[in-house]
Chains A and B, each alone.
Chain A
Amino acid sequence: MSGLSGTGVAIAIAYLVASVLFIFGLKLLSSAATARRGNLIAGIGMLVAVAATLLEQEIVTLRWIALGVVIGAVAGLWLAAAVKMTAMPQMVALLNGFGGGASALVAAAEFYRIEASSAAVTTDVALSTALTMLIGAVTFTGSLVAFAKLQEMVTGRAVTYPLQKPINALLFLGALAAIVILTVAIAHPGVFLALTIISLLLGVLLVIPIGGADMPVVISLLNSYSGIAGAAAGFVLHNNVLIIAGALVGASGIILTQIMCRAMNRSLTNVLFGAFGAQAATAAAGGTEARPMRAITADDAAVMLAYAQSVIVIPGYGLAVAQGQHTVRELASLLEKRGVDVKYAIHPVAGRMPGHMNVILSEAQVDYDALINSLDEANSLLDRADVALVVGANDTVNPAAENDRSSPLYGMPVVEAWKAKQVIVMKRGRGTGFAGVDNALFYGDNTSMLFGDAKKSLTELVSAVKGV
């Protein structure tokens, strides 16, 4: 510590405090009762870190910082207030892209400063600058592509083209070569520019072949990258709070990625390179038999629900697309008034990202005690349930995941809707789900299909139940 001035020590201690607050914040974020406080504490940590940075000797003028902060804060607050809960995955992707972009810009600025000064560059600074650029730029464009896919600005399907993998591999080798040159030889602006372009391109090309259904995994992984990019920037600037916060986010992103892969029964490699959803439709073709689906009317369904003792609602993304979550809650309240026990079984990957359906239902003021905690619990409750009401879910209730080895879904944990005495499936049309796989549940003896837009059908159900 002898080399540090008084201010330097104060800054270092403030950074330590910020790091501890981040760790506490994350810890509290992982339990429902304390999550909101955890988020606040992490935010305070950020404030402490920013305030301490203002004391850094290198900072001589505040007006540019103020300009950037004001622009960013206004844009950030506006985004956070305006975004629909159904659009949360693309929101996270977008925010993540900005984070990665910021790291890449810092790396660029550091590079040009080093290049302009005559002082010798140490190997570690040169290496970390180049790495920060690579990871930051990949995160930036990768997140923007993920955002565009989820926002349906470009096709959500997996985009494949010939020689995809060799081209990506070549680009990656090119990036590595540029990093090596920048590290061991000289700070050459041309090489740095090449690295920048390759990295930006890699971000696009790595995400383009991944289908929309897998996008949440990609976002989680990119989130992890943006953390690692932050940590790499910390190596460049010799800043410990950057390293610690970056590492925390990097690790948590990896864990969430793993959890998601497990819930979908896929390996990360398969998600990233399998181009799932590009050809999946072919797998379904063999399984379609000429069995009839049994369609029922809203009135019949209402009678079934109103005279049940226990109903389990199994919501899928179709519900959110139709904006039917409020109507579901209205239906549930009506049924509860009649003494029906209503619970919600939410598949871990229902919606467009893990836990997304919980957020959407909570927005509709569904009491979260009614949300069944785990898949195992949901499946044992379904054993005893009178009616399973499947709303806009398909792949997550497909029995093929348990009994058809040839199905692309085989092995994925699913909600066993078919175990209930009666199953009502609300579905827009007769088509297949996101993965393009046929669903035997729809042909089951105890299954009745209620076709139509989820929200419209639900509204009909609500008025029908009132009339029972």
Chain B
Amino acid sequence: MAELLVALYIFVLAIFIGFEVITKVPTLLHTPLMSGSNAISGISLIGAMIVAGRLGSPLNTILGVTAVAFATINIVGGFAVTDRMLRMFRHRRDGES
């Protein structure tokens, strides 16, 4: 139970950090912010890796591999597409003024 309580402390404090960090975001960045934070939520990959990497039943392995693939799509797709969007924001008028 003590372990659960510590985890709960961490959870609640992290939520407050999340609120603090995000509050003043310009609209310009909402779409990339959503896809970027979405990529971070792919952190469940860690849980998926533990499941896929342990010795278990075939069912365990199937669930694990699928979970790893899903979470990786979330992470890689999310970071890559966010970068693609943000790269475009850097464009300036080239050569004309």
Q: Which of A's residues lie within 8 Å of B, judged by CB?
A: 19, 22-23, 25-27, 29-32, 35-36, 38-40, 42-43, 45-46, 49-50, 53-54, 56, 58-62, 64-65, 67-69, 71-73, 75-77, 79-81, 83, 85, 88, 91-92, 95-96, 98-99, 101-103, 105-106, 108-110, 112-113, 116, 124, 219-220, 223, 226-227, 229-231, 233-256, 259-260, 263, 333, 336-337, 346, 348, 353-356, 358-359, 362-363, 365, 367-368, 371, 373-374
Contacts and interface: CB of A to CB of B under 8 A. Distances in A.
A71 B72 contact: yes
Given A69-B68, A223-B37, A30 B28 contact: no
Given A72-B68, A112-B57, A112-B59, A252 B21 contact: yes
A101 B70 contact: yes
Contacts of A45: 40
A247 B14 contact: yes
B46 A50 contact: yes
Contacts of A226: 38, 41
Interface in B42-80: 42-57, 59-61, 63-80
Contacts of A71: 69, 72
A220 B25 CA distance: 15
B7 A367 contact: no
A22 B79 CA distance: 12
Given A64-B52, A251-B22, A99 B42 contact: yes
B40 A46 contact: yes
Nearest to B53: A59
Contacts of B73: 72, 75-76, 79, 95, 98
A103 B71 CA distance: 8
Nearest to A101: B70
Given A30-B33, A250-B18, A96 B27 contact: no
Q: Is the interface of A mostly helix, strand, loop or mixed?
A: helix
Contact of B60 (A25, A62, A109): A109
Interface residues of B, number: 86
A107 B12 CA distance: 22
Nearest to A260: B30
B51 to A, nearest CB: 4
A42 B39 CA distance: 9
B55 A60 contact: yes
A355 B79 contact: no
A58 B28 contact: no
A77 B85 contact: no
Contact of A68 (B38, B52, B74): B52
B75 A46 contact: yes
B33 to A, nearest CB: 5
29 contacts: A26-B40, A46-B42, A61-B54, A64-B52, A65-B49, A68-B65, A73-B72, A76-B72, A76-B73, A88-B81, A91-B35, A95-B42, A99-B42, A106-B67, A110-B51, A112-B60, A116-B57, A233-B44, A235-B4, A236-B47, A239-B47, A245-B41, A246-B14, A247-B12, A247-B18, A248-B14, A248-B15, A250-B18, A336-B96
Nearest to A347: B27
B85 A68 contact: no
